[in-house]
Amino acid sequence: MPTPSNPDTLVYRQSGWTRLTHWIWAIALFFLLLTGLQIFNAHPALYIGKQSGFAFDNSILQIGTIQGENGPRGVTDIFGKRFDTTGVLGLSESGGQLRGRAFPAWATIPSHQDLGTGRVIHFFFAWVLVGTLLVWLIASAVNGHLRRDLAPGIDDIKKLPSDIAAHARLKFHHTRDYNTLQKLAYGGVLFILLPLMILTGLAMSPAVDAWLPLVDLFGGRQTARTIHFIVMLLLVGFFVVHMLMILAAGPFNELRSILTGWYRTDPPHRGEPEGSA
């Protein structure tokens, strides 16, 4: 490992395993999101329970097209409340024409409606995600990344109010260690959201349910599908906040850390709360 030119401010923050798995996850989640929306377009509705269809009134979300006074309109129903989403959801432009589809062409892979191809790509990157998560878990346990960087301690919990206040003011102190909000956010994604995404995905598979009835754990295949969708929204929200924090804390320093491992820290200042992206 080469020594940085200024060892007083540059620290080796991200191991090779962390950096490699980070970028594989980024690629896998990108394809999972866009192919997942392609799959959702085949039946653009979410339900709670074990069954769905015309005889059941258990939908919590529906995206579709209706015929209005001035032509077709895209609508989204959420818990029975209808919203006009023409141009974005339900009815959007594709190839110079308005077409009825839940999510627009630019948000799906493939861009045209092709459930078979979408499922093949989705399942491939789902297994990439599972394999990479297992590799990261083993490597992080061996090199101490889990214990050192992600496990919050009593001191971290005590710092939480000041950490929230510092982030609200966009006041960041760049240190070698993750701050409390980072530990909670990254831990939530890695140990709650991603495993829940994987388990609900497996629960929707008849082949998996034949030998491991995960679907019963979530109260039915339709409920598992709804949870799967909600977790997707939470991961998208995490990504947006993550990008905003990187921009606010200094994108060059943050990108250098995840590309090379080296991270520039600030000289210690008394009384300044810790925090970084």
pLDDT in tens, 199-222: 999 999 888 888 888 888 898 899
CB atoms under 10 Å from CB of 209, counted, come to: 16
For the cut 60, the answer to whether the pLDDT of residue 270 exceeds it is: no
Q: Please give the angle made by the CA atoms of 68, 69 and 73, to the nearest 5 degrees.
A: 25
For the cut 80, the answer to whether the pLDDT of residue 71 exceeds it is: yes
Q: How many angstroms separate the CA atoms of 176 and 65, rounded?
A: 52
Would you give the distance in Å from CA 169 to the centre of its chain?
A: 25
Report how far apart, in Å, the C-alpha atoms of 89 and of each of 41, 103, 144, 175 are. Answer: 10, 5, 45, 43
For the cut 60, the answer to whether the pLDDT of residue 236 exceeds it is: yes
Strands 81-84 and 71-78: antiparallel
For the cut 80, the answer to whether the pLDDT of residue 7 exceeds it is: no
Q: 64 and 90 in contact (C-beta within 8 Å)? A: yes
For the cut 80, the answer to whether the pLDDT of residue 80 exceeds it is: yes
| Mean pLDDT taken over the chain | 89
Would you give the distance in Å from CA 109 to the centre of its chain?
A: 17
pLDDT band of residue 95 (cuts 50, 70, 90) is confident
Structural domain 10-43+112-264, CATH architecture:
Up-down Bundle (1.20)
CA quadruple 198, 179, 240, 257: dihedral positive or negative?
negative
Strands 45-47 and 10-12: unpaired
For residue 272, the model assigns a pLDDT of 45
Q: 129 and 136 in contact (C-beta within 8 Å)? A: no
For residue 273, the model assigns a pLDDT of 43
From-to residues of CATH 1.20.950.20 in the chain:
10-43+112-264
Residues 32-39 have a mean pLDDT of: 98
For the cut 70, the answer to whether the pLDDT of residue 84 exceeds it is: yes
For residue 122, the model assigns a pLDDT of 97
pLDDT band of residue 94 (cuts 50, 70, 90) is confident
Please give the structure tokens belonging to residue 132.
């990479």
Query: pLDDT over 70 for what percent of the chain?
Result: 91
For the cut 80, the answer to whether the pLDDT of residue 44 exceeds it is: yes
